[in-house]
């Protein structure tokens, strides 16, 4: 199954390091980040899980639940969690899905046979409260992910969902934004009464809405 932006994230039941879950129920009314790992006790994955554990308060602030996945069973996850805490200085504080039969990996197309026939690639799915996939990122096994970038994208998604704007290249929270092309100048005057800067008619720049 190939997922695309806007698709409903497949629901599933699975065991995790924090007990069994049904995925959609576990997400609830908020956002989620599902990210996969090739297998337990691998060096890059260990650093990534430590990074997310340290950033958990930032995910919480945004109403986002992180959840990892690896093809190993729960017992190995719990053993690995001790290594993560000891080497990364942060205890695992979010669930890690056990997927030994690769069922979830198949649902989310996480195994790319030309890259590795048995282990998942480093895939990231950002899922919104309607259970729609809003971001897809795939990394090779040797490249660790930048979770600050994932938080930045979540900030953009949540902002642009609330307001008729888009975010420019390299945008950070608090920077100026762009009025969406779907908003006419007449409608923009009502939405942005203080006006905007327009170096081109299609490029209307305003301060980030509060």
Q: Which residues are catalytic?
A: 45
Buried b (16+ CB within 10 A) or exposed e, 63-79: ebbbbbbbbbebebbee
- Provide the greatest CA pair distance for the chain: 60
Q: What are phi and psi of 62, to 5 degrees?
A: -95, 5
Q: What's the sign of the alpha-carbon dihedral 159, 165, 169, 171?
A: negative
Structure tokens, 151: 């938080």
Structure tokens, 135: 């971001």
Whole-number Cα distances in Å, 195 to 3, 166, 172: 39, 16, 21
Structure tokens, 109: 């197309």
Query: Contact, 48 vs 143, CB < 8 A?
Result: no
Pairing of strands 197-200, 177-179: unpaired
147/49 Cα distance (integer angstroms): 10
Q: What's the sign of the alpha-carbon dihedral 127, 132, 137, 140?
A: positive
């Amino acid at each position: 199954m190939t997922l695309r932006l806007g698709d409903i994230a497949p629901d599933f039941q699975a065991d995790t390091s924090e007990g069994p879950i049904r995925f959609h129920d576990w997400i609830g009314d908020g956002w989620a980040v599902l990210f996969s790992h090739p297998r337990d006790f691998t060096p890059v994955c260990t650093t990534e899980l430590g990074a997310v554990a340290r950033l958990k308060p930032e995910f919480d602030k945004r109403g986002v639940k992180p959840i990892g996945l690896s093809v190993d069973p729960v017992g190995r996850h719990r053993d690995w969690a001790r290594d993560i805490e000891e080497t990364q200085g942060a205890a695992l504080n979010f669930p890690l899905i056990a997927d030994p039969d690769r069922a979830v990996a198949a649902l989310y197309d996480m195994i790319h046979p030309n890259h590795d026939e048995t282990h998942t690639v480093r895939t990231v799915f950002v899922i919104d409260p309607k259970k729609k996939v809003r971001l897809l990122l795939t990394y090779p096994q040797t490249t660790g992910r930048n979770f600050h970038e994932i938080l930045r994208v979540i900030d953009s998604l949540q902002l642009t969902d609330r307001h008729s704007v888009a975010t420019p290249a390299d945008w950070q929270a608090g920077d100026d934004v762009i009025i969406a092309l779907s908003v006419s100048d007449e409608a923009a005057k009502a939405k942005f009464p203080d006006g905007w800067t327009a170096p081109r008619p299609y490029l209307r720049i305003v301060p980030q809405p509060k």
